[in-house]
Structure 1
Amino acid sequence: MLDEPNNWGRWGAADERGALNLLTPETVLAAASCVREGRVLGLSLPIRGATSSPAPTTVPHLRGRPLPQHFMSVDGGDYAAGTRPIGAGLRMADDALVVTPHGTTTHMDALCHMWSGDELYNGHPADRVRSYGAGRCGIDKAGPVVARGVLFDVPRLRGVDHLAATDRITPDDLEACGVELRPGDVAVVRTGWPLVWQDGPDAYWSGQPGLSADAGRWLAARDVCAVASDNAAIGGLNERQLADEGLADDLHMILLWRHGVPLLEMLWLEELAGTSRTDFLFLAAPLRIEGGTASPVTPVAVL
């Protein structure tokens, strides 16, 4: 599969950041010029925990994934709602949060998340991915993402609220959006699929629209530094929550493994779409989870 174009070796044999190397100081300064209004929009879904309530089930998620758990601690040990005294009449509440990012909340995939054979992106040995974390290409290697974001609003192009579950976005669709894409940009692709959650989980789990393999190759060829979308897997999913494409056409293999392009999934893009802005300053900072395959993130658009 590496007979296809790829970024292995492009930034040296030791590289673990992939296309994020495109975010040079000059690229970041150019991205800052997109700020014309000073308006700030959050692009993430909420994290709702509390195992004693149905709250976690009210946020879009893939079926069968462990949902977030949020506990409040009393006196540093008793996990129940409440506060603890710290002297002089003051009270303090502490939090404990358990999150499985993939499929349950807005997150960023690390380059160690998926691979083929015995090698991660850039030829790093896959046997370094263990239960205690990935020794290579973990999310801690990514660092903050500060880039020009470009919105591909495909539902708006087609005149619908959201795409159908079986829709696959093609390069022609991306070109028809009429936006300018530059090296080092974050391609933000709207499908509108989170809106389907309002019709119930079964409707959301009926499949998902997403990028086609050729659309992923189209974006990689234009040197995007990351791809973000409001669906759960960048590519489309069937009713079993799986991709129909073979390994050669899997979007994670094309973007993460071959080109080192991080993926940000399960964004909330409705307010951004309502502004009619197609370019903006895009910010996202993953947690420095050593060896992590992903991190929850709160992407931000600054208009």
Structure 2
Amino acid sequence: MTLPDAFLDIARRVNNWGRWGPDDEIGTLNLITDEVVRAAAATVRSGRRVPLAVPLRQDGVQTGMIPGRVNPLRTMVALNLEMFGPGTIATSDDVVTLGLQAGTHWDGLTHVSHSGRIYNGRPADTVTAHSGAEFSGIEKVSSLVSRGVLLDVAAALGVDRLPGGHAVTPEDLDAAEELAGTKVRAGDIVLVRTGQIQAYLGGDKQAYAYPSPGLSIRTPEWFHARDVAAVANDTLTFEIFPPEVEDLWLPVHGLDLVEMGMLQGQNWNLEGLAAACAEAGRREFWLDATPEPFVGGAGAPVAPVAVL
């Protein structure tokens, strides 16, 4: 199946291949400069810390809809083991098996491909079964801290949670930016709140997964125009699901990750942050969201923390 012209036209407008050189592997994270980080640090006023990750647990957010993406299975492999002899210090250890995108996570730049290519024009077959991602593995994101901006689309539209069929548009992002009281600028990490995570927190992960509000195919141009470094939201699929364009699955993934080289995150719990921001009267903050450095990974868990 050939990708439709509507997708390819947007792809040409947001493409960043070669922008930071032919050897670049981190895409829009290049926009987080030392100056951006210094300015981000100035957003810390009260020191209030808000965790944004969902707990990693065996009955986590995954429903089985995505093949192989298993919730964490943790097993004890040592229980108060006196490994150096009776009466010595004892240790307890555990091991875990999980999908790297099972919980709160970043999608790496190799998470999707289209037309045989990944970010910066590299062949998609540089991702192999043996080694994973030869280029742009998630370990290349050595640090991810910047100014975070909460775009609370649900609040901007006067609801607590967007309906499942709502595709977040650039106009919605404009409204949320106005509510935030600050302009999104180069190097920012944008967090888009839909309120969808409430379904999971309320115990209904099937309703959380499907149908889901999410970002429209029109939003990558909004982020590209503002030179956003990374985007995350509070849904399982990131973009609207089922798709807004019939038979065009994961177009926003293809535009963000492949064309722009922009990380995107899913399953972020933004409910506490929304409340804290409303209380503080501002929606900008210091954000630490560095992923676990799995070598060759197409994504990784993250335990992000916002500091107001």
Do both proteins adopt the same fold according to a TM-score greater than 0.5, normalized to the shorter chain?
yes
CA distance in 2, matches of 1:117, 1:229: 26
- Tell me if structure 2 keeps the 8 A contact 1:20–1:261: yes
Could you say what secondary structure the match of 2:14 adopts?
Answer: coil
Aligned pairs for 1:183-194 (under 5 A) are: 183-194=186-197
CA shift at 1:116, angstroms? 1.0
CA shift at 1:234, angstroms? 1.7
| TM-score of the superposed pair, with normalisation by structure 2 | 0.87
Aligned pairs for 1:18-33 (under 5 A) are: 18-33=27-42
- Tell me if structure 2 keeps the 8 A contact 1:217–1:254: no
CA distance in 2, matches of 1:233, 1:245: 16
- Tell me if structure 2 keeps the 8 A contact 1:247–1:253: no
- Tell me if structure 2 keeps the 8 A contact 1:216–1:255: yes
From 112, 116, 125, the equivalent of 1:118 is 116
The percent of aligned pairs where both chains have the same amino acid is 38
Q: Which residue of 1 aligns with 2:19?
A: 10
How many residue pairs align between the two structures?
284
Q: Which residue of 1 aligns with 2:239?
A: 235
CA shift at 1:107, angstroms? 0.6
Aligned pairs for 1:217-256 (under 5 A) are: 217-238=221-242, 244=245, 247=248, 250-256=251-257
CA shift at 1:159, angstroms? 2.4
CA distance in 1, matches of 2:81, 2:144: 37
Unaligned runs of 5+ in 2: 1-7
From 177, 181, 184, the equivalent of 1:181 is 184
Residue 84 of structure 1 pairs with residue 81 of structure 2: yes
Q: Quick one: structure 1 residues 206 and 218, their matched pair in 2 at CA, closer, same or farther if it must change by over 3 Å?
A: same
- Tell me if structure 1 keeps the 8 A contact 2:109–2:298: yes
CA distance in 2, matches of 1:205, 1:185: 27
Aligned pairs for 1:27-66 (under 5 A) are: 27-48=36-57, 56-57=58-59, 59-64=60-65, 65-66=69-70
What do the CA deviations read for 1:67-101 (whole angstroms, capped 9, x no partner)?
21111112xxxxxxx32114444221112111103
- Tell me if structure 1 keeps the 8 A contact 2:193–2:270: yes
- Tell me if structure 1 keeps the 8 A contact 2:209–2:237: no
Aligned pairs for 1:214-293 (under 5 A) are: 214-238=218-242, 244=245, 247=248, 250-275=251-276, 276=278, 277-293=282-298
Q: Which moved more, 1:258-267 or 1:87-96?
A: 87-96
- Tell me if structure 1 keeps the 8 A contact 2:63–2:206: no
Q: Which residue of 2 aligns with 1:107?
A: 105
CA distance in 2, matches of 1:167, 1:63: 23
Could you say what secondary structure the match of 1:148 adopts?
Answer: strand
Q: Which moved more, 1:160-169 or 1:202-211?
A: 202-211
From 50, 68, 73, the equivalent of 1:69 is 73
Q: Which residue of 2 aligns with 1:51?
A: none
Unaligned runs of 5+ in 1: 49-55, 75-81
Q: Quick one: structure 1 residues 243 and 136, their matched pair in 2 at CA, closer, same or farther if it must change by over 3 Å?
A: farther
CA distance in 2, matches of 1:123, 1:299: 30
CA shift at 1:109, angstroms? 0.9
Return the letter of the residue paired with 1:85: E
Superposition RMSD in Å: 1.8
- Tell me if structure 1 keeps the 8 A contact 2:138–2:299: yes
Q: Which residue of 1 aligns with 2:162?
A: 163
CA distance in 1, matches of 2:205, 2:104: 17
Return the letter of the residue paired with 2:80: T
What do the CA deviations read for 1:193-238 (whole angstroms, capped 9, x no partner)?
1111225233223311011111222112211000010112221112
Could you say what secondary structure the match of 1:30 adopts?
Answer: helix
- Tell me if structure 2 keeps the 8 A contact 1:60–1:194: no
Residue 172 of structure 1 pairs with residue 174 of structure 2: no
CA distance in 2, matches of 1:160, 1:25: 37
Q: Which residue of 2 aligns with 1:77?
A: none
- Tell me if structure 2 keeps the 8 A contact 1:248–1:254: no
CA shift at 1:5, angstroms? 2.9
- Tell me if structure 2 keeps the 8 A contact 1:7–1:260: yes
Q: Quick one: structure 1 residues 129 and 243, their matched pair in 2 at CA, closer, same or farther if it must change by over 3 Å?
A: farther
CA distance in 2, matches of 1:249, 1:294: 16
What do the CA deviations read for 1:130-165 (whole angstroms, capped 9, x no partner)?
012110111011221111000011111222221111
Q: Which residue of 1 aligns with 2:128?
A: 130
Q: Quick one: structure 1 residues 202 and 109, their matched pair in 2 at CA, closer, same or farther if it must change by over 3 Å?
A: closer
CA distance in 2, matches of 1:62, 1:221: 35
